[in-house]
Structure 1
Amino acid sequence: MDFGIVLQTDPPASRVIELTRLAETYGFTHAWTFDSHLLWEEPFVIYSAMLAATRKIVVGPMVTNPATRDWTVLASLFATLNEMYGNRTICGIGRGDSAVRTLNGRPSNLATLRDAVHVIRELANSRSVAINDRTVQFPWAQGSALDVWVAAYGPLALKLTGEVGDGFILQLADPDIAAWMIKAVRDSAEATGRDPEAIKFCVAAPAYTGNGESPAERSHMREQCRWFGGMVGNHVADIVKRYGTDSAIPKALTDYIKEREGYDYNEHGRAGNSHTTFVPDEIVERFCLLGSPRDHVEKLTELSKLGVTQFAAYLQHDNKEETLRTYGERVIPAMAEAVTATA
């Protein structure tokens, strides 16, 4: 299993770069960031500095969208970074949430998302693509390579992911929900004639390490991560509006938003978010990874058995460095394949 971190590009940008360097030191393979240009600093500017400060780590957005970003410009950004730093970028993409809603816009439809994935991937992989009745290609890009991973929750979005995604990003760490969604993506891939095993599966969720033994400590962990249930709830609300509450979608995903009254994007992704009190403790525990290193390893092992190939840890809490250290010294080694010097 690979390991990533997910950061917000809050100023100073040097802090994002510092955490990326620290993550690479502790064995993380990916550094993702939010992409919401009103709420945070421009990530693609910072990616260049993140890549310059590291040797191997792969960087990219979790997630960008087809509405606020021109597809050809996105592809050019990735291809340029790849030329500069040696194919160390990745594109996570979805229909759009905070980046579009803060502008009073709407998430892109799935047809637009499908087209965007195709255009970005072809151009950023040094291939030509048809767009606006023209065939275009970057004449300066040679050997650029980019995977495009799709973030999805609903049935049709999962179907699309299986049809076109190099990977699937699931922004929650509940094994039961993950099993249902991974199966949906694999079934779609197989029906399309793709190899389901070739698709990467990334679970992204807050990770908070500690002893997790005292009720007070456990409660603090939950409060630091409760914002995540509110963020996921934005997407769940769209799913419930479209499919209702009696669909095949797991009840564990849809039922918890019954008390949701709205969402203020000014507190998006923030610990202590004042309007996510509707998120129950059970959902925080199910969606996130909390507790001792052993607790984390147990849940990650369960997810790995489902086919998860990467866990990306959101670090929007007050325990960033310690969580990175604990993962680097305890969790990542425990999840690595055992290799012996002699046999």
Structure 2
Amino acid sequence: MDFGLVLQTDPPASAVVGLMRRAERNGFRYGWTFDSAVLWQEPFVIYSSILEHTDHLVVGPMVTNPGTRTWEVTASTFATLNDMYGNRTVCGIGRGDSAMRVAGRRPNTLARLGEAIDVIRDLAEGREAAVDGQPVRLPWVKDGRLPVWMAAYGPKALALAGQKADGFILQLADPYLTEWMIKAVRDAAAGAGRDPDAVTICVAAPAYVTADDSPDALAHARDQCRWFGGMVGNHVADLVSRYGEHSGLVPDELTAYIKGRQGYDYSHHGRAGNPSTDFVPDAIVDRFCLLGPAEAQIEKLKHLKGLGVDQFAVYNMHDAREATIDAYGSTVIPALTD
């Protein structure tokens, strides 16, 4: 199993670079960031510095979207970084939640997302693609490689990930839902004539390592990670509005907990203490995240690995960022690395 670190690009950028360097020293192979131009600093500028100051770390957004940049600009940015640092990027992409909504736009349609996946990959790898009906090619790209991994929850999005993406990003660590969604992606890949096992599976969720499993320690960890249930809840609310409750198309285990949701304030997006997440119960935090002593997290990760998860990406937005990176490096990653 590979491991990634997920950060927001809060200033100063040097702190983001420093945490990514620390992660590489501790055995993490991927460095991810949010991509929301209004809420945080521009990630692609910071990727250049991360790549300059690391040796092997692969970097990318979790996730970008096809609406805030034109596709040839996105492809050219990745291709430039790859040319400078040796194909060490990955494009995580989705419909766009905070990046689009904060700017007053609706998330992209799945049709637009599917087209963008093909175009961005083709252009970044030196092939011609049509952008708004115009044939385009980046003539300077040589031996470029850009895996495109798609974030998804709902049935149509999961199908699209299986049909087109090189990898699938699932932003929660609940074993039941992970198994259900991996099956949907792999079934779609097989139906499209692809090798289902060739789709990389990445589970991303907060991890908070505690010294013990005492009630006080676990309560603090939950409070530091409850924001994640609110972030996932934004996507779940979209699914419920589209498919309804108890539709059979989306598991009730995913949708039931948002009944008490009363809107969402993006100014606290992805942050501990987010006041928009009071509706998230402890049980959801426990299911969606990895909390507690390292040994307990190792057992859950072994379960996820057995379900086919290739990478666990640690959302590291809480009050123990350095300690979590170090605990994973000393204990968790060695136990899960082949």
If the length of structure 1 is used for normalisation, what is the TM-score?
0.97
Q: Is the 8 A contact 2:2 2:337 kept in 1?
A: no
Q: Specify the alignment match of 2:296 in structure 1.
A: 295
Deviates more, 1:171-180 or 1:212-221: 212-221
CA distance in structure 2 between the partners assigned to 1:102 and 1:230 by the alignment:
16
CA distance in structure 2 between the partners assigned to 1:179 and 1:38 by the alignment:
34
Q: Specify the alignment match of 2:196 in structure 1.
A: 196
CA distance in structure 2 between the partners assigned to 1:194 and 1:327 by the alignment:
34
Per-residue CA distance 1:30-79 (angstroms, 9 max, x = gap):
00000000000000000000000000000000000011121110000000
Deviation at 1:141, TM superposition (A): 0.8
CA distance in structure 1 between the partners assigned to 2:131 and 2:69 by the alignment:
15
Q: Specify the alignment match of 2:26 in structure 1.
A: 26
Deviates more, 1:151-160 or 1:135-144: 135-144
CA distance in structure 1 between the partners assigned to 2:64 and 2:89 by the alignment:
13
Q: Specify the alignment match of 2:11 in structure 1.
A: 11
Q: Specify the alignment match of 2:233 in structure 1.
A: 233
CA distance in structure 2 between the partners assigned to 1:275 and 1:170 by the alignment:
22
Q: Is the 8 A contact 2:212 2:292 kept in 1?
A: yes
Structure 2, unaligned runs of 5 or more: none
Q: Is the 8 A contact 2:202 2:309 kept in 1?
A: yes
- Pair 1:77-2:77 in alignment: yes
Q: Specify the alignment match of 1:165 in structure 2.
A: 165
Q: Is the 8 A contact 2:72 2:131 kept in 1?
A: no
Residues 3-152 of structure 1 correspond to what in structure 2 (within 5 A)? 3-152=3-152
Q: Specify the alignment match of 1:314 in structure 2.
A: 315
CA distance in structure 2 between the partners assigned to 1:132 and 1:301 by the alignment:
45
CA distance in structure 1 between the partners assigned to 2:16 and 2:41 by the alignment:
11
Amino acid at match of 1:309: D
Deviates more, 1:105-114 or 1:206-215: 206-215
Per-residue CA distance 1:233-252 (angstroms, 9 max, x = gap):
00000000011111222111
Q: Specify the alignment match of 1:186 in structure 2.
A: 186
Q: Specify the alignment match of 1:269 in structure 2.
A: 270
CA distance in structure 2 between the partners assigned to 1:213 and 1:335 by the alignment:
21
Q: Is the 8 A contact 2:71 2:131 kept in 1?
A: no
Deviates more, 1:130-139 or 1:40-49: 130-139
Amino acid at match of 2:71: W
SS at match of 1:59: strand
CA distance in structure 2 between the partners assigned to 1:299 and 1:290 by the alignment:
10
Q: Specify the alignment match of 2:261 in structure 1.
A: 260
Deviation at 1:126, TM superposition (A): 1.4
Deviation at 1:125, TM superposition (A): 1.0
Deviates more, 1:55-64 or 1:241-250: 241-250
Q: Percent identity between the aligned chains?
A: 61
CA distance in structure 2 between the partners assigned to 1:251 and 1:211 by the alignment:
33
RMSD: 0.7
Q: Specify the alignment match of 1:340 in structure 2.
A: none
Q: Specify the alignment match of 1:210 in structure 2.
A: 210
If the length of structure 2 is used for normalisation, what is the TM-score?
0.99
Q: Is the 8 A contact 1:212 1:290 kept in 2?
A: no
Per-residue CA distance 1:128-149 (angstroms, 9 max, x = gap):
1122333211111101100000
Deviation at 1:2, TM superposition (A): 0.3
